[in-house]
Amino acid sequence: MMRSKGLRFIVGVLGALLLAGALSATAQTAAVPDILPLAGKQIYALKKCGDCHDKGAKEFTPIKAAPDSAKLSAHLEALKSVNVLRQDSSPRRQKKTMAEEVVAMTAYLKSREKTDAAAANMVTAGFVMVRESCRNCHLINGVGKGDMAPELKGVGAKHDKKWLVEHFVDPQAFVKDSMMPKFGALPKAELEAMADYLAALK
Ligand code: HEC
Ligand code: HEC
C-alpha cells in the first residue's frame, strides 16, 4: 500500500515535470523576440544608458514611457553619444548608423520586459544580425527585403546549428554563386549566437 502510494507520487511528479518542460519549450519557440529590440538592448548596454536610467544608478532617472525617436535622437545628441553598432568613417554613414541605433533602442524600450527575458545569446544574435544588415536581403519575422534571398521563417526546421554556422562562413560552398557574403571573419561566438537564433525559428 505504502509502496504504491509512493510510486504514484513519483509518477505524478515526473508527469508534472514533463508537462512543465513541454510547456516551457513551446513558450520558448513562440517567444523568439524580433532582432530589432534585441539589438536595441545591446546598444542600450553598450551606450551605458543604465548609468542614469537603471535602478541603482547614482543619478537615477526612470524611463517612464517608450520614447519617440525624435526625442531620443535629441537626447543622444545632447549626450554626445558615439556609435556602437558600427564604426563608420564618413559623417553621412555615422548619421545613418545613429538613426538605426535610435530605432533599435526605441523598439527595445517599447518591449522591454519581453526583451529582458531573452537569453544573452539571443541578444547577441539580434545585435549582429542588425549590424550585418541581414534584412537588406532576407525577410526575418516578416520584416526586410525578401526578393533577393529566402525568407528565414522556419529556417530552424530546415537546418541545424552546425549547418547554419558552416553556411555563414562560406555560403558559396553550399550554393554556388550565392549572393550572400561570407561571414567567416566574425567571432565564433557571434556566428553561434546567430545560429542559435535561427535554429529556434521552427
Ligand atoms: C548622464 C545621464 C544619462 C544618460 C547616460 C542617458 N540619459 Fe536618458 N535621461 C537623462 C535625464 C536626466 C533625463 C530626463 C531629462 C531629459 O529628458 O533630458 C533623461 C530622459 C530620457 C528619456 C525620457 C524619459 C521619460 O520617460 O520621460 C529617455 C527615453 C531616455 N532618457 C533614454 C536614454 C537612452 C536610451 C540612453 C542611452 C543611449 C540614455 N537615456 C542615456 C539622463 C541620461
Ligand atoms: C547580399 C544579400 C544577403 C545578405 C546580406 C545575407 N544573405 Fe543570407 N542568403 C542570401 C541568399 C541569396 C541566400 C540563398 C543562397 C544560399 O543559401 O547561400 C541566402 C541564404 C541564407 C540562409 C539559408 C536559407 C535556407 O533556407 O537555406 C540563411 C540561414 C541565411 N542566408 C542567413 C543570413 C544571415 C543571418 C545574414 C546576416 C548575417 C544573411 N543571411 C545575410 C543573401 C544574403
Residue type, 198: L
How far lies 47's CA from each of 93, 130, 143, 148, in Å? 18, 16, 26, 33
* Atom 42 of ligand 1, nearest CA residue: 52
User: How far apart, in whole angstroms, are the C-alpha atoms of residue 111 and residue 66?
Assistant: 9
Residue type, 158: K
User: Count of residues for the chain?
Assistant: 202
Which of 169, 180, 191, 198 has most ligand 2 atoms within 8 Å of its beta carbon, as the pocket-test mutant?
Answer: 180
17-57 pLDDT per residue, tens: 455 444 444 444 456 899 999 999 999 999 999 999 999 99
Q: What pLDDT does 5 receive? A: 61
Tell the residue number behind the cell numbers 546549428, with chain if given.
161
Q: Which residues of the chain have pLDDT under 70?
A: 1-31
- Nearest ligand 1 atom, CA 65: 26
Cell digits of residue 59: 543619478
Pocket, ligand 1, Cβ cutoff 6 A: 44, 47-49, 51-53, 61, 63-65, 67, 72, 75-76, 79, 81, 105
Q: What pLDDT does 8 receive? A: 63
At a CB cut-off of 8 Å and minimum separation 6, what does 190 contact? 124, 128
For the chain, give the percent of residues with pLDDT over 90: 79
Q: What pLDDT does 27 receive? A: 40
